[in-house]
């Protein structure tokens, strides 16, 4: 009888070169498309190209893999937010670039998936503390970045005097994430762009 110690990785159902980062990315895409409950183990096995045993050995279980996928999504979202906020000649231009980016990401088939954080908040946050903590971290980090950008705009003199950076940042988080939800029903993109333009106009000194 052949010992399992002598079996090749391919014979055990695991690729010769297993890239955990790539597997998490692929899992994230499946979870983003189907949601946590809608994603089956076969879905994850197909996406990651891992056998059941290899997937469990690498990530523990479906929930463990989902947490890693959610962490990846959050990290990518905050990195993109930092890049967009820093892209303008001044803070207000960076803020507009950020908001335009949100609108752009609601277009097309990809936009129909909405935001993984928002979808997860609706599906799981009420009963899963680990997920609830991650979502709270994301919104807090997003809001902190917007507060900083708005405070800088105020220092630059481009923000209207009656605009409070803290309250406005919270409003923007609600607006931008709400936009991802509304656009899932294929609302016209020009309406979203008009809403962004009106909001920016209300902030300008």
**Which residues, 6 or more positions from 74, have their beta carbon under 8 angstroms from its beta carbon?**
117, 134, 137, 138, 141
Q: Would you state the structure tokens that stand for residue 150, as one six-digit string?
A: 């708005």
Residue 97 and residue 194: Cα distance in Å, rounded?
14
Residue 42 and residue 170: Cα distance in Å, rounded?
39
Residue 179 and residue 173: Cα distance in Å, rounded?
10
List the chain pLDDT tens, one digit each, 205 residues.
334 344 444 444 454 467 999 999 999 999 999 999 999 999 999 999 999 999 999 999 999 999 999 999 999 999 999 999 999 889 999 999 999 998 888 887 777 788 999 999 999 999 999 999 999 999 999 999 999 999 999 999 999 999 999 999 999 999 999 888 888 776 677 888 898 899 999 998 7
Residue 36 and residue 59: Cα distance in Å, rounded?
15
HEC assignment per residue over 97-148 = HHHHHHHHCCCHHHHCCCCHHHHHHHHCCCCCHHHHHHHHHHHHHHHHHHHH
Place of tokens 């800088």: 152
**Entry field: residues in the chain:** 205
Nearest to 117 by CA among 137, 94, 96, 144: 137
Contact 81, 177 (CB under 8 A): no
CATH number of 15-203: 1.10.357.10
CA separation (Å) from 22 to 35, 41, 79, 170, 196? 19, 17, 18, 34, 35
User: DSSP letter string over 60-111?
Assistant: SSHHHHHHHHHHHHHHHHHHHHHHHHTSSSSHHHHHHHHHHHHHHTTSHHHH
What does pTM read for this prediction? 0.87
């Amino acid at each position: 009888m052949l010992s399992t110690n002598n079996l090749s990785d391919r014979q055990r159902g695991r690729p010769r070169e297993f890239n955990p980062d790539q597997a998490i990315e692929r899992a994230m895409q499946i979870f983003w498309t189907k949601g946590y409950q809608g994603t089956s183990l076969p879905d994850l096995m197909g996406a990651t190209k891992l056998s059941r045993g290899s997937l469990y050995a690498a990530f523990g279980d479906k929930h463990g893999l989902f947490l890693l996928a959610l962490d990846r999504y959050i990290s990518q979202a905050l990195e993109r937010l930092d890049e967009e906020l820093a892209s303008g000649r001044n803070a207000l231009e960076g803020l507009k670039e950020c908001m335009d980016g949100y609108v752009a990401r609601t277009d097309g088939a990809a936009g129909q998936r909405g935001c993984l954080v928002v979808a997860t908040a609706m599906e799981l946050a009420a009963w899963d503390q680990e997920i609830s903590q991650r979502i709270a971290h994301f919104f807090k980090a997003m809001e902190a970045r917007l507060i900083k950008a708005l405070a800088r705009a105020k220092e630059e003199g481009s923000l209207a005097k009656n605009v409070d950076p803290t309250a406005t940042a919270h409003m923007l988080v609600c607006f931008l994430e709400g936009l991802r939800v509304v656009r899932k029903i294929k609302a016209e993109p020009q309406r979203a762009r008009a809403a962004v333009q009106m909001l920016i106009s209300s902030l300008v000194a």
